[in-house]
Structure 1
Amino acid sequence: MTRLLLRFFVKNHENYGDAAVRASVGKLAGATGIVCNIILFLGKLLAGILAGSVAIIADAVNNLSDASSSVVTLLGFRLAQQPADQDHPYGHARYEYLSGLMVAVLILVIGVELVKSSVGKIIHPEAIDFSLLTVGILVASVLVKLWMSLFFGTLGKKINSLTLQATAVDSRNDVVSTVAVLAGCLVGYLCHINIDGYVGLLVAVFILYSGVNIVKETISPLLGEQADEELVEKIKRKVLSCEEVLNVHDLLVHDYGPGRCFASIHAELSARLDPMEVHDILDDIECEVLDALNVHLVIHYDPVLPDDAEWAEMSNVVGEIIKEVAPEVTMHCFRMVGGAKQKNLVFDLMVPYDLKKPNQELKKEIDAGLAAKNKKYGTVIRFDGKE
């Protein structure tokens, strides 16, 4: 069914890297969610009224909220499709993250309302009129929601959308809640025990728990989370595939929404190369990364002297000292400045965030290790990572 819908409503649907295709997939998901959830709301509302069950009615209202969430999803993809402008030079793709956050907030609101109604039902229980029609509607709802969860999850993975993945989780929650409601009705009918309110409360707690998790997942990219490790490795491999590039470091990735990724990286090349040649080499790599990974990359040129005997020797010496002081720390941008009598070794250190040792203590230990080997050299260290 998913493939059929994509074939009918999304042109070139297999080209998921294309921004227009991605937006069309999102709009299809939103429209499908609106139609399905409205049908489910009407069916469950009828079943809840006939049975007199607060749990079924709450489940129906939950589907109505899901329809609202689908409207938010539809609007989110439409707004995210807007091109960059003077006020937003990096585009509007983060609207998709905001729509995912709105879906999560709606889930939390529904959870809170369901807690209220369920507690009221526990305090003031009412008899439930159970029928085959009620069972049929709830079973049909479970099957539809199960398909919707798979549908949104599949599309979410294909276009790497947090919004659709959150919607898939919401649909899965509906499956769990409806099964719980159905089980409560069956227990009440067979055992003559009214647990409608308690079932509703359990469903509400489950919905709130999943809502909190979705909020965390959607807020993280808005705050600026760590870049995906696979993407980081792909960028590094692409840059290092150029034979003139000796090493890379200081890769920073900035996510402005799906399809709007900007990055910068330092690349070490021989200082013997002509600057114009280096410019052409790096420019070509930037274009290749954009074509292959859809990442707007800026490369900073770090000139190094690997064929200089003194440079190579002192680079190795400092590297060994750093391994003894803090093996987790890595060095880059190594260079030497000064005259014949006194020289400074200038370099950067990448310090992990979880390293307990203060930066100034690291410098003191490195200076002490270097002084023990050769007092001719001092250090100028810039620390990356933790403060």
Structure 2
Amino acid sequence: MIHFLIKKFVKDYSDTTNAKVRVQYGMLASIVAIFLNIICASFKLVLGFIAHSSSVIADGLNNFSDVGSNIASLLGFALAQKHPDMEHPYGHGRYEYLMGLVIGCLIFIVGILSGYEAIMHIIKPVELKVNVVIIIALIFTIGIKGWMFYFNNAIGDTIDSKTLKAAAIDSKNDVLSNIASIIGLLGGAFTSWPVDGAVGLVVSIIVIKGGVETISTMIDSILGCTPDPELVDEIKQYVLSQPDILGIHDMMFHDYGPGSRFCVLHAEVDNDMTLIDAHHLIDGIERNILKKYNIMTTIHYDPIETHDQTTQLLKDKMEKIVHDINKNYSIHDFHLVKGEQPQLICDILIPNDDKVDEEIIRQKIEEKMKVDNPEIICILQFDHSFI
């Protein structure tokens, strides 16, 4: 069914890096979800009022909030495809994240409201009216929500959409809350204990938890977070596999929303390579990354001395000193400027969670480098990873 819908409504569905195709996927998922959530919400609210069940009513309200979330998602995909303009040169892709934030807030609010209602039912229990038709109808909605989980998750993975992945998690939570609602109905029908209210409270907690997780994910995306490690590794391996690339460092990603991602990195090449050859090499790598990953890439090339024995000996010494201080430290951009007072220029990469005093590290390195080479001036730059 999922593949049928995609083939029927998404033109050029295999070209998932294309922004227009991505929007078609997102709008299809949102429209299908709106339709199914209206069905589920209507069923549950009617059944909940018939049965006087707070857990079923809470679940129905949650599904109606899902309709609002789906509409926000639909708007997000529609707005995200707007072309860049003078005020927004990087496009409007983050609208999707903003709409995802709205979704998380709606889920959270509904969880709070339904939780209050459940607590009232615990304090003042009401008689439940349960029959086979109600139970069968609720089981039917479990099937719908289960399918929606797989549907949203499949499309979310296909187009790498955090909004749709959040919707998939919400659908999974709905399955759990539906099961809890049935338990609450059955338990409340056969005991005087306020089982339905207690289960309704559990459902509300599940809903609140889903809202908080969605809000957290979207805030991270808006603020800027660590890129996907698999994507980083793929691009690294691709660049390093190119002839004449000796190493890479200072890699950064900028995410302005789906279809508007940028990568910056430094690539090391032999300093014997001519400028024109280096330009052709780097230019080709940038074009291929754009074609394969739809990521605009800017590569700064660093010429590296590979034949001078003095440079190599000093580099080996520097690496040993740095590793002795901390095995997680590394060096790059190592250059030796020869003269009466030779300058040793080097960047030192320190893990982000390492809160060291850089001045102390600098002094240790300079002292040890000057033991055999007192005339050397060390120019050290400390870097932190952005990936």
TM-score normalised to the size of structure 2?
0.96
Question: Cα distance, 1:207 vs. partner?
Answer: 1.4
1:183-210: CA deviations, max 9, x gaps? 1111122334442211111111121122
Tell me, in whole angstroms, the C-alpha distance in 2 between the residues paired with 1:15 and 1:245. 30
1:145-168: CA deviations, max 9, x gaps? 111111111111111111111111
Residues 39-118 of structure 1 aligned to structure 2 (within 5 Å): 39-118=39-118
User: Equivalent pairs: percent with the same residue?
Assistant: 35
1:346 touches 1:381 (CA, 8 Å); kept in 2? yes
Residues 253-264 of structure 1 aligned to structure 2 (within 5 Å): 253-264=253-264
SS where residue 252 of structure 2 aligns? strand
| 1:344 aligned residue | 343
| 1:37 aligned residue | 37
Cα-Cα RMSD: 1.5
1:256-305: CA deviations, max 9, x gaps? 11222101111112222222222222111111111122211111121221
Tell me, in whole angstroms, the C-alpha distance in 2 between the residues paired with 1:195 and 1:102. 32
| 2:366 aligned residue | 367
Tell me, in whole angstroms, the C-alpha distance in 1 between the residues paired with 2:92 and 2:113. 33
1:63-92: CA deviations, max 9, x gaps? 111111110111111111112111111111
Tell me, in whole angstroms, the C-alpha distance in 2 between the residues paired with 1:60 and 1:50. 13
SS where residue 268 of structure 1 aligns? strand
1:127 touches 1:194 (CA, 8 Å); kept in 2? no
Question: Cα distance, 1:98 vs. partner?
Answer: 1.5
Residues 151-190 of structure 1 aligned to structure 2 (within 5 Å): 151-190=151-190
Tell me, in whole angstroms, the C-alpha distance in 1 between the residues paired with 2:30 and 2:99. 11
| 1:132 aligned residue | 132
Question: Cα distance, 1:378 vs. partner?
Answer: 2.2
TM-score normalised to the size of structure 1?
0.96
1:111 touches 1:207 (CA, 8 Å); kept in 2? yes
Question: Cα distance, 1:338 vs. partner?
Answer: 4.8
Question: Cα distance, 1:356 vs. partner?
Answer: 4.0
Deviates more, 1:186-195 or 1:302-311: 186-195
1:100-151: CA deviations, max 9, x gaps? 2211111101110011111111122211111222112211111111111111
Report 1 or 2 for greater relative contact order, CA contacts < 8 Å, sequence distance ≥ 6.
Answer: 2
Which blocks of at least 5 consecutive residues in structure 1 are unaligned? none
Tell me, in whole angstroms, the C-alpha distance in 2 between the residues paired with 1:36 and 1:356. 50
Question: Cα distance, 1:178 vs. partner?
Answer: 1.4
Tell me, in whole angstroms, the C-alpha distance in 2 between the residues paired with 1:230 and 1:195. 46
Deviates more, 1:106-115 or 1:356-365: 356-365
1:346 touches 1:379 (CA, 8 Å); kept in 2? yes
| 2:202 aligned residue | 202
Tell me, in whole angstroms, the C-alpha distance in 2 between the residues paired with 1:21 and 1:330. 42
Tell me, in whole angstroms, the C-alpha distance in 2 between the residues paired with 1:239 and 1:179. 50
Deviates more, 1:26-35 or 1:207-216: 207-216
Tell me, in whole angstroms, the C-alpha distance in 1 between the residues paired with 2:359 and 2:205. 48
Tell me, in whole angstroms, the C-alpha distance in 2 between the residues paired with 1:112 and 1:6. 36
SS where residue 373 of structure 1 aligns? coil
| 1:217 aligned residue | 217
| 2:123 aligned residue | 123
1:47 touches 1:133 (CA, 8 Å); kept in 2? no
Tell me, in whole angstroms, the C-alpha distance in 1 between the residues paired with 2:144 and 2:129. 24
SS where residue 209 of structure 1 aligns? helix
Question: Cα distance, 1:15 vs. partner?
Answer: 2.4
Question: Cα distance, 1:372 vs. partner?
Answer: 1.8
Question: Cα distance, 1:27 vs. partner?
Answer: 0.4
Residues 289-328 of structure 1 aligned to structure 2 (within 5 Å): 289-328=289-328
Runs of at least 4 residues of structure 1 off by over 3 A?
A: 191-194
Question: Cα distance, 1:14 vs. partner?
Answer: 2.6
Tell me, in whole angstroms, the C-alpha distance in 2 between the residues paired with 1:292 and 1:13. 16
Which blocks of at least 5 consecutive residues in structure 2 are unaligned? none
